[in-house]
């Protein structure tokens, strides 16, 4: 402290000399504050250490129980849970400066959970032995009429003892209830989806809600039994030696087949959790839980096949689709069946009064006018019908049908161009030949007409002998150059046998 005062006086003197010295003075002031804080903290730490030493070495009582490993040793601890009618053993260890104190009367005040019916309170005592240990015990009561309301919950124990005129105490708390408790049982299908209605011959399963209030794992065997409306047993399933961790957990128990002999109506499922099952002896963890469900006829329609008439078609070409449906249920069914290409509806056909296990063939026509070229998936859907649960077989998909564009003008490949050229040349030659024939025909006809005109105007009836180099046709009687083989007037043949 003297050092701090001297530093403070120096800081004042430096502050009077000028502004530059203020910084130095501030630094010295900070050092002074740190020294003071260090001194105070050291003093507090020393006091706390002395107090702690006094507490540990002074009067003490520690209450704990017989629940290993979580027995609540230590001041104001919590122990593991107890169940109804289980024995509770309480211990009180009395020490002074950590040494056991024998011959001391320890009082154990036990208080049950606060409730509007009855607050259970016990006051027990015992004298410590040479080890400074006192102990008492009691069995969890089970009074009527509502034990769960009066006993279940948090219990507290306060142990107190007078050591040298000073009363010291310690508290312990623990939970009381069903160690492993069934919270609920629900009926589900094999996919663990909640269901309340099952048909004869159908498989069913169960969902169990379980809570473990202990601090350690427990082992339980779960058994679920079911009966029909007339209380006739229809089945039993079990889950053996299941490890139940602390807290809440859900279990899936499968599977049970509802027999065909079960009576239609309301059924009942009862679940139990057992500590052990040995022959005819079984010890339950808790009371059973139950639920109800409906037993009825099976309703199930299905599509067995979808068969298109072709796998490829041109746009505009009709495609016939054959659909086979079946009633897999146990009652007559009436339902609609739809056919689709992709998600577009092709048509709907009504099926009336299809008997159980009956099949029916349905016909659809897909008119493909206006359908763009491409691949289209064919599918059909039947129902569903009222009360149907199995919808997985209501839809059937059968591959695809390819729609092609209408064919246009034929196109020639490069390898066939020579054929086109050849055809073109032949057409030109034939046309030229025809033109030549026509020209010759017209030329001959003109010559013949001119000859007739000359005979009528110049020669009269006088016969003119054929001149050299001229032939006379024996068919038409007209003359023509002897170099011709055919008469240009009538096209008659005149060869070697021609006579002048």
Are both 290 and 323 inside the same structural domain? no
Query: Quick one: 103 and 156 in the same domain?
Result: yes
In DSSP terms, 290 is beta-bridged to: 270
Domain containing residue 270: CATH number: 2.60.40.2550
* Residues 357 and 313 sit within 8 Å (Cβ to Cβ): no
Same structural domain, 292 and 305: no
**CA-closest candidate to residue 298, choices 334, 323, 258, 329:** 329
In a domain, 330, yes or no: yes
- Do the domain assignments include residue 413? no
Q: Which domain holds residue 366?
A: 301-404
User: Is 490 contained in some domain?
Assistant: yes
The answer to whether residues 64 and 172 belong to one domain is: yes
How many CB atoms lie under 10 A from the CB of residue 427? 10
Count of the separate structural domains present in the chain: 5
- In this structure, are 257 and 362 located in the same domain? no
The residue from 281, 296, 311 where one domain ends is 296
Sign for the CA dihedral angle at 326, 327, 333, 339 comes to negative
**211 and 102 both lie in a single domain:** no
Shared domain check, 85 and 142: yes
Residue 420 forms part of a structural domain: no
Same domain, 100 and 41: no
Query: Which of 245, 263, 296 corresponds to the end of one domain?
Result: 296
Q: Does residue 24 sit in the same domain as residue 78? A: no
Q: Are residues 292 and 354 in the same domain?
A: no
State residue 115's pLDDT score: 86
- CATH assignment at residue 155: 2.60.40.10
Does residue 497 belong to any structural domain of this protein? yes
Peptide bond into 384 cis (omega under 30): yes
pTM for the whole thing? 0.59
Neighbours of 476 (CB within 10 A): 16
Same domain, 357 and 286: no
Pairwise CA distance, residues 285 & 437, whole Å: 121
pLDDT at 138: 96
Q: Rounded distance, CA 326 to CA 495, Å? A: 91
Which residues of the chain register pLDDT less than 50?
1-4, 7-8, 11, 14-15, 19, 22-24, 27-28, 30-34, 36-57, 412, 414, 458-467, 497-500
Distances (CA, A) of 96 to 65, 74, 128, 330, 393: 21, 15, 13, 82, 80
Please give the helix or strand (H or E) that residue 179 lies within, else none. none
Q: Is residue 423 part of a domain?
A: no
Domain endpoint, select from 271, 296, 321: 296
Residue 2: predicted pLDDT: 47
Measure the CA–CA gap between 242 and 210, rounded to whole angstroms: 11
Would residue 433 count as lying in a domain?
no
Within a domain: 212? yes
305 closest CA partner among 375, 365, 366, 379: 379
Is the same domain home to 213 and 244? Answer: yes
């Amino acid at each position: 402290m003297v050092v701090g005062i001297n530093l403070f006086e120096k800081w004042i003197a430096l502050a009077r000399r000028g502004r530059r010295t203020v910084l130095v003075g501030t630094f010295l002031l900070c050092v002074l504050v740190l020294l003071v804080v260090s001194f105070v903290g050291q003093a507090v730490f020393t006091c706390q250490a002395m107090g702690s030493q006094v507490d540990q070495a002074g009067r003490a009582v520690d209450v704990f129980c017989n629940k290993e490993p979580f027995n609540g040793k230590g001041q104001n601890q919590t122990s593991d849970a107890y169940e109804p009618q289980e024995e509770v053993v309480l211990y009180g260890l009395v020490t002074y400066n950590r040494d056991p104190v024998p011959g001391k009367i320890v009082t154990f005040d036990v208080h049950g959970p606060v409730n509007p019916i009855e607050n259970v309170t016990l006051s027990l005592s015992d004298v410590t032995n040479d080890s400074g240990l006192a102990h008492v015990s009691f069995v969890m009561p089970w009074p009527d009429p509502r034990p769960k309301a009066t006993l279940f919950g948090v219990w507290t124990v306060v142990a107190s003892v007078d050591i040298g005129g000073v009363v010291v105490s310690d508290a312990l708390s623990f939970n009381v209830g069903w160690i492993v408790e069934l919270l609920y049982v629900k009926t589900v299908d094999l996919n663990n989806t909640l269901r309340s209605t099952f048909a004869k011959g159908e498989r069913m399963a169960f969902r169990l809600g379980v809570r473990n209030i202990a601090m350690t794992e427990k082992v339980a065997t779960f058994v679920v039994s079911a009966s029909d409306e007339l209380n006739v047993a229809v089945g039993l399933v079990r889950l053996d030696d299941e490890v139940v961790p602390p807290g809440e957990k859900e279990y899936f128990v499968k599977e049970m087949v509802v027999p065909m002999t079960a009576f239609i109506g309301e059924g009942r499922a009862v679940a139990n959790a057992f500590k052990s099952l040995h022959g005819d002896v079984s010890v339950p963890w808790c009371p059973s839980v139950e639920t109800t469900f409906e037993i009825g006829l099976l309703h199930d329609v299905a599509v067995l096949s979808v068969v298109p008439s072709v796998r490829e078609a041109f746009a505009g070409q009709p495609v016939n689709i054959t659909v086979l449906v079946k009633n897999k249920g146990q009652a007559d069914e009436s339902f609609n069946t739809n056919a689709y290409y992709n998600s577009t509806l092709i048509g709907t056909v009504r099926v009336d009064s299809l008997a159980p296990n009956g099949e029916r063939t349905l016909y659809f026509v897909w008119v493909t006018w206006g359908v763009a070229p491409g691949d289209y998936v064919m599918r059909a859907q039947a129902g569903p019908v009222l009360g149907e649960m199995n919808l997985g077989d209501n839809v059937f998909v059968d591959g695809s049908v390819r729609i092609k564009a209408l064919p246009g003008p034929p196109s020639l490949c490069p390898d066939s161009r020579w054929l086109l050229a050849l055809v073109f040349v032949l057409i030109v030659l034939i046309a030229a030949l025809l033109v030549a024939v026509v020209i010759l025909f017209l030329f001959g006809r003109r010559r013949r007409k001119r000859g007739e005109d000359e005979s009528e105007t110049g020669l009269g009836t006088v016969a003119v002998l054929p001149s050299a180099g001229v032939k006379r046709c024996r068919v038409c009687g007209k003359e023509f150059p002897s170099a011709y083989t055919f008469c240009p007037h009538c096209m008659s043949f005149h060869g070697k046998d021609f006579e002048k």
